[in-house]
Amino acid sequence: MNARVLRFFLAMACTLLWVQALAAHENQVYRIGGKTYQLTVGSLNEPVAIDDKTGLDFKVELQPGGGAKPGPVTGLEQTLKVEVAAGDKKKVFNLQSSFGTPGTYKTSFYPTVQTTFSYRIFGTVEDIPVDLTFTCHSAGHARVPEDTTEVKISDQVTRLSKRGSFGCPVAKSDVGFPEAAPSIFELQSRVNTLNSQLEGAQSQAGTARILGVAGLAAGLLGLAFGMVAWRDGKKAQSFPSRRKS
Amino acid sequence: MEGWEKSPIFPIETKILRRLPGFPLLVISVLLLVVNVSNAFAHATPMLYEPAAAMALDKLPPRVRIQFSEHIEPKASSITIYAPDGSRADLKDSRPDANDLRVLTVGVRDAGKGVYTVSWQVVSQDDGHFTKGGFSFGFGSDAASTNSTAEQIQVEHSSTYSQAGAIGIEVLGQSLLVAFLIAMALLWRRLPHRKITVRQSAVFERACQYVVSAGIVFIVLGVIVFLILKTLDLEVSRATSFATTFQTFLQTVDGRFAVYRLILGLAFGIYFFAVRKSIFASRTYSMHEGILAGLVAIILLDRAMVSHAAASHFHPDFSILMNAAHLLAKEFWVGGLMALSLILVPVINRIGRASWMAVTLTTMSKYISAALAVTALTGAYIVWLHLKSPAYILTTPWGRRFLVLSTIATILLLVRMYNQLFAERYAVQACRQHLQGYRREAVRWLHYSIPFEMCVGVALLFVTSYLIITTPPYPSERYALEKHADSQGARIAMTVHPVEQKQFLITVTKGQTGTAEPVTEMVVTLENMEKNIGPIVADTDERFTGGFTFPRNSLSVPGQWKIDITARRNGAYDAAVSFPLNYPAEFEASRIDPDVRVAGLFEGILASAAAAATLFSLALYRFAGKLSRQCDVEASQSWSTPGFRISKSILTGASATAAVCAVIWMGDALFIKSNFQRLCEDHGGSWTQSVPMRRGVTLSSETMAVCSTPSNDFHFAEAREFEYSLQKSPQSEEHHHQ
């Protein structure tokens, strides 16, 4: 196999991997100001498992039209931030530009709970305020039809289309090998449960100890009364004539 | 006691079979009817449509078949099919299936492609109730439009308070006839005949004649009103003239048997007035009384034969006999009280002998104790037969009416306890001594407490009449499949939808309280690893807060499936669980056949209650027997109750009846209508028996109590789903109000 053929196959493989990666991402086209942008959002390392390192994988490209030169949009790490939300918890991260791939940004974290994660990207794009939210789908990227309905987000921001989706983190037990192990959060929950049970048991043990001591004291007291009664009884038996009188 | 034993009528109890000339006649009558029971065939509800409602067919079936819950009247039942162009598409040959009289079929002709509308109207052979309804199915390429016309499915039942009232009047008449027989045969003849003057006898005889006359009038009135009401009901259903409809109704078992009861009632009256002098002159039980008792027994069996017992799958003949025995025991109880209140107490009060009053009261108590045992045993059987499960007590009309009946029965039993264990004890003491204080008052109050008991008994008979025309629950097959798991403080359960068995139901509840957990989005992913299918995202439909369905056929091929369920919640982590399911093997294994009755807790409770009631009755019987032996019928202590007036006594009883009716009315308002029914009616919906439907699409071929929205495109069978629809569409609610 010569080097040309090898390079061809390598290029094909890279293309396939890129397509695969894109397929697991959500693709939205926006008109911001007078320009059209394609935003591609997903998670790093999909499919993501709980306790695995992941994060926002965000790419912005300028589309042809409006007199703008198509291509990746750089420098957004200066003007945009991302808020990651899960359940009732939220955390703001700074965006970092990916080295070697202009127009691509990322931020990293470790998902600890199997739930729905939302990426809220906010800030400005060319001085125009944007506030966009992308949410993962628990069924991964399965069967989400393209939505070409225009949705006005704000005066200067309109969503033109939406395509694809990205998956939420899957349970660690689903992909764990060779033994399906629970996540750290699950272990922590179990430990908490055990702790509360232990505290309950300790409290009960304390009560039982007090009752035991009280019982022992009552027993000793009873024994003392018994002894006194027994002694009086003996005395009474030894002086029957006096009792009769 | 010696004088008592010398009484010529004393041996009645010990030699009853030999001394009752009418007994063999009664037995023969009963046997003859039992033989005929199998020929007589309660509230026909469609159980299965073939083809199924809203089904799209490639090929037209030769006949349309509808399976009902009960046997149907061939002459008064029909199926009409309308072709897509509106012409008749049936072959006008509606007939029951030769092998199963619960199935009605009609031939259908090919009248082109499109939607065929089937309209049916039937009369039940078992209880004479009318039902009608319709459904649609599609044939050919236009079949897709079937769903839009499926809203025509509607089922109506003709069970009304007025019909129950007519039956109640008739049963009241029967009880009056029983009252005469008890007064004559079991009570009056126990008294020393030689000490009864001609004038006193005349008063007794006159009272008997009044009671029998009233009984006949009530039976005739009850049957005639019943026939008219049923004909009017059927007239609406069939859209024919009154005369034609009346003729049709008389051809039904219900109509025919009502006429039989009318004739038998009149025969009782004619025979009684023809032989009354002979009956009153006889010192022992006469043949005439046997014949009259036989007539009453036949009337009772006739009534029992047109009942839901006839439609039961569990030995219908035996069930009919149990029904008749139950009705007889109740009528005996109430009839005995009528005999006391209307005939004997006023007469003996006039005679003024305390011993006679005490013996009469305690003797009747003994018989009532026996009737209590029969009522309890047969009642337990009937409850077991019809109610089927305690789960139906508050969820079905039959169950809730049974609850009202039980309330009245409890009041009746409490009054009986007062009369038998307290008041009668002092009545016996009054044989030997002049009573003072509260004891005297207790005896005096017997003039009111006995009529009070009678009136409560009459109320019980009316509620029984209402229960007679109420359709018992007919459960269809169910699936006990359930999988559940906890996640993030929530419990996710997966079951088969109780109404739509083609759907799986997922419910999300709070783990600690069990209340519904609001879910913003439900994602169900299906994966069959063996066959490498999926993951498939199932179509889910939110039905109520925390309740979602997805179709069973999402599991496209048999095998081991993994069902991942993720419930998204606001402000909380997702609840996510995963269930393995071997489908359809696990599904089929969880099937519960409604016709298979197994001994369980319900049966145990009923058997225990019946046994306890029987033992209690036995104790009451012994107590009453002991009391009756303590009183010498020859004792001459006077029965002094100044100010007694029978009218006053009955008026007090009637007031008590009004009080009991108020209890029934309150019970009806509180229990008969479920919260779901009240909510439905409050929001402009109508409560009917129909197939469940959503957006005009039928969900099941099984008819059930549903809340039909004014637009008729939703028939809610589940309260949660109806409540949710109200929450989701306040505009719709406003529309409902309009």
Strand partners, B134: B119
**B294-352 residue pLDDT tens:** 999 999 888 888 777 777 777 888 888 898 999 999 999 999 999 998 888 888 887 77
Q: Can you give the pTM of this predicted structure? A: 0.63
Q: Is the peptide bond before B475 cis (omega within 30 degrees of 0)?
A: no
| Arithmetic mean of pLDDT over chain B | 81
Return the structure tokens found at B392.
């139906």
The SS3 of residue A138 is coil
Instruction: Look at strands B130-139 and B156-157 and give their pairing.
Output: antiparallel
Residue ranges with strand state E in B45-99: 46-50, 56-57, 63-68, 78-82, 95-96
Amino acid B148: pLDDT: 41
At what angle are helices B446-468 and B437-444 packed, to 10 degrees?
Answer: 40
Angstrom distance (rounded) from CA B335 to CA B330: 8
Amino acid B159: pLDDT: 54
Angstrom distance (rounded) from CA B702 to CA B704: 6
Among B14-18, B210-214, B293-297, B564-568, the range scoring the smallest mean pLDDT is B14-18
Amino acid A141: pLDDT: 62
**B619-673 residue pLDDT tens:** 999 999 888 888 776 666 666 666 667 777 788 877 876 777 777 677 666 666 7
Cβ pair B576:A142 closer than 8 A: no
For the question of an ipTM over 0.90, the answer is: no
B488 touches chain A (CB under 8 A): yes
Contact criterion met (CB below 8 Å) for B211 and B346: no
| Arithmetic mean of pLDDT over chain A | 84
Q: Count the neighbouring beta carbons within 10 Å of the beta carbon of residue B501.
A: 18
Angstroms from A115 CA to nearest CA on chain B:
5
Angstroms from B411 CA to nearest CA on chain A:
49
Strand partners, B638: B353
Interface mutation target, options B487, B521, B523, B527, chain A, most CBs of A under 10 Å:
B523
Amino acid B611: pLDDT: 95
**B377-410 residue pLDDT tens:** 999 999 998 888 888 887 777 887 888 888 889 9
CA atoms within 13 A on the CB side of B221: 14
Report the share of chain B in percent with pLDDT over 90: 27
- Does residue B584 or residue A11 have the better pLDDT? B584
Angstrom distance (rounded) from CA B395 to CA B475: 12
Closest CA to B621 of B191, B9, B13, B176: B13
Return the structure tokens found at A125.
């794009």
Does B64 have pLDDT greater than 70?
Answer: yes
Strand partners, B577: B565
Cβ pair B573:A86 closer than 8 A: yes
Angstrom distance (rounded) from CA B37 to CA B31: 10
Q: Is B25 left (phi over 0), alpha (psi -120 to 50) or beta?
A: alpha
Helix runs in B54-160, H state only: 146-149
A52-66, B342-356, B678-692, B695-709: which has the highest mean pLDDT? A52-66
Nearest to B566 among A138, A142, A143 (CB): A138
How large is the average pLDDT for residues B41-59?
71
Does A242 have pLDDT greater than 60?
Answer: no
Amino acid B633: pLDDT: 65
Does A221 have pLDDT greater than 90?
Answer: yes
Does B601 have pLDDT greater than 50?
Answer: yes
- Does residue B306 or residue B479 have the better pLDDT? B479
Angstrom distance (rounded) from CA A138 to CA A167: 6
DSSP sequence for B649-662? HHHHHHHHHHHHHH
Chain A residues whose CB is inside 8 A of the B535 CB are 139-140, 142
Closest CA to B307 of B285, B325, B281, B283: B325
Contact criterion met (CB below 8 Å) for B576 and B566: yes
CA distances from B688 to B80, B394, B403, B610, B712 (A): 22, 17, 21, 35, 11
Task: Please tell me which residue of chain A has the smallest CA distance to B573.
Answer: A87
Does A57 have pLDDT greater than 90?
Answer: yes
How large is the average pLDDT for residues B162-185?
91
Among A126-135, A235-244, B268-277, B471-480, the range scoring the smallest mean pLDDT is A235-244
User: What is the 3-class SS of B434-500, one letter each residue?
Assistant: CCCHHHHHHHHCHHHHHHHHHHHHHHHHHHHHHHHCCCCCCCCCEECCEEEEEECCEEEEEEECCCC
B485 touches chain A (CB under 8 A): no
Contact criterion met (CB below 8 Å) for A96 and A88: no
Contact criterion met (CB below 8 Å) for B672 and B400: yes
Return the structure tokens found at B98.
């030769």
User: What is the 3-class SS of B310-345, one letter each residue?
Assistant: HHCCCCHHHHHHHHHHHHHHHHHHHHHHHHHHHHHH
Cβ pair A140:B535 closer than 8 A: yes
Cβ pair A114:B574 closer than 8 A: yes
Task: Please tell me which residue of chain B has the smallest CA distance to A186.
Answer: B488
Return the structure tokens found at B330.
């109740």
